[in-house]
Amino acid sequence: MDIEQWWPRVTKETRDWLIANNGEGVPPHVTAEITAAGGVISADTWWIGEATAAGFTFSDEATDWIEAVANGERPAPR
């Protein structure tokens, strides 16, 4: 499931955290909420960047997507 599909399914608190911490590693509790909302965490998912000790980071493209949403824009579907 793409980011634009699971994004509205996570809590506002999680979306706010992702915006405030855009570009940083995603902690396990946020990863769990993303997967519960239908997001698949795998190396071939476009919005996954690098694996970290704590989980993963978002790809540059996904970071740009989150920034656009934070700025009130509506990014084009991928």
Give residue 44's Cα distance to chain centre: 14
pLDDT: which is higher, 39 or 78 = 39
pTM here is: 0.92
Give the tens place of pLDDT for each residue, 16-62: 999 999 999 999 999 999 999 999 999 899 999 998 887 899 999 99
Give the tens place of pLDDT for each residue, 55-77: 899 999 999 999 999 999 999 88
Burial of 13 (0-12, 13-18, 19+ CB in 10 A): exposed
